[in-house]
Each structure stands twice: as structure tokens, then as C-alpha cells.
Amino acid sequence: MKLIKRDGHTHTHFCLHGSGEEAEAFVVKAIAEGFEEYSFTEHIPLPAGVTNSYPQEIRETFTIIDDDLDPYMREMERLQKKYRDRIKLNIGLEVDYLPNDLSFVKEILREYGPYLQDSLLSVHFLYTTEGYKCVDFSPEDFQEKLLPLYGTYEEVQLEYYRTIQEALAADLGPYKPRRIGHLNLCNKFQHALNPQGSLSEEVKVEIRKVLGLLKEKGVGLDVNMAGLFKEHCRETYPSPWIIQEARELGIPLVYGSDAHSVEDVGRGYDTFRKLVLE
């Protein structure tokens, strides 16, 4: 069986922390790299309170250019038509699981879900006693905002995987995404904050609970290459041992470049091939 070369996780110029290059340039690069299928999975807008603990200029970069998503949908539909003979383009979203704002998330899915072909459900924020805190902003931010609330790196990891389990169980309606984005994003700063690289049995138990739920629900995993290129991570999301266990369970595994610039399109595909296809 010939496997389709597919990228299931990419961003566009609608994302303010991206390079600003036009989505069309990403598509042209994907075609040149031999991709046959490519999903646009732009971040959903976030409700105001989520990023309140960040300064205004940083807060702005979390979001997408236009909060109502319509211009994004229109532009992706235009590209889908223009390139339909050369590549299968899927319109999607990277949907944040926001435990305290589920009605907001559900409303976006209710409105845009009928027009989406492929989406991701990702956890970037933990909902703490002091509101939402980002897990992947910077090691300093993790250290300042998350560690005092949870005590240890280990406890943050536990909380993260429990949040993923909650996300898998949550009722987000009929358009709930069928794939989890970058499963262990909480480990992005491992070399800075957990240099011995130890992961306790307790954390592994929570990760295996996630895998069990994925299997049970038929939900897939984004095999995300962004971490490989991050100074403090240097590893795929999820880690290779998790990918191995997911493979054994038959969980659908989809390559994701998580490209935020044209240069990122197709990155790490050889690593994906080795981890998942061989």
C-alpha cells in the first residue's frame, strides 16, 4: 500500500506569531516537497481572559489576525480550489482546549465545524488557581508562572496529561477534532528544566491513560516535528517511546511540521518516516 505523503499540522499568515509569509507560499513549497495532502490548522482566536497574565505586545502574538476567522476560511477555500489538481488541501483549525471556556470553544466549532475537513485539539494552557498559564512560551515563563503553582516540573507534567484526558472526554459537539496536537508539549523545555530527563512512573501512567483513551475513542496523534528544532526540547512531540507505544496500539499517527514559516514545511519528515513508517 502506498502511503500518502501528508502534513496534518501547519500555520499561515493569519497567525501573528508566524513568519507573515503567505499561506500560498507554504502550499507551493509543500507541492515541491512531494506532499499530496496538506492541512491548514490555524489557531482559534482566544477569549480575552486567557492571556491576561501576559503583557499586551505578547498577548497579541497569541492570536490570529482576524478574530472572526472568516477571512481565513475564505482564503483557504480559494487556495483549495486553485491547487485542487496538484494537492489535496484541507481546511482546519488547531483548537485549544480551554477548560474554563468550553462554551466559547464549542461555539467556534458549531459555527465553523461544517466547513472543516481536518482539525487538531491541543493543550497550550493549563487552567490554574490563578487562571490560564501557557506551557510552551519560554523556560523563564514556565519557571515563573507554573512551577510556583504546582511545586515541581513533575507535577506540571501530571497536570498536563490529566488535562489532555479531560480534553478527550469533553463534549465539544459533533465537530470535535479527531487528533491531539503535540501530545507532550509540556516537555518542550526539558533540557532547561529537567536536565536529567527523568520521567517518573506516575507520569508514564498518565501518558498511558491518554493512549488508552485515544485507542478507545479512535482519536489520532499529531507526530509533531517542531520540538526537534527547539533548543530545549530536541525531540519530537510525542517522544519516540510514546510514538512506539502508540504504534503498537494502532493509534493513527499523522506527520505534522507545525510550520510557522515556509522554511519549516516538510521539516523532519525523514524522522517521521523512521519513527512511524519503518
Binding region for Zn ion (CB under 5 A): 94, 122, 258
Taking the least distance from each CB to Zn ion, the nearer of 65 and 212 is 65
Q: How far is the CB of 119 from Zn ion (least distance, A)?
A: 11
Q: How far is the CB of 240 from Zn ion (least distance, A)?
A: 20
Taking the least distance from each CB to Zn ion, the nearer of 123 and 203 is 123
Taking the least distance from each CB to Zn ion, the nearer of 122 and 187 is 122
Rounded CA-CA distance 120/93 in Å is 6
Residue pair 183/221 in contact (Cβ under 8 Å)? The answer is yes
Taking the least distance from each CB to Zn ion, the nearer of 20 and 148 is 20
Taking the least distance from each CB to Zn ion, the nearer of 94 and 264 is 94
Q: How far is the CB of 183 from Zn ion (least distance, A)?
A: 11
Q: How far is the CB of 1 from Zn ion (least distance, A)?
A: 28
Alpha-carbon distances of 32 from 28, 35, 146, 272, rounded to whole Å: 6, 8, 42, 18
Q: How far is the CB of 42 from Zn ion (least distance, A)?
A: 8
**Burial grade of 237 (CB within 10 A; 0-12, 13-18, 19 or more):** buried
**Burial grade of 242 (CB within 10 A; 0-12, 13-18, 19 or more):** buried
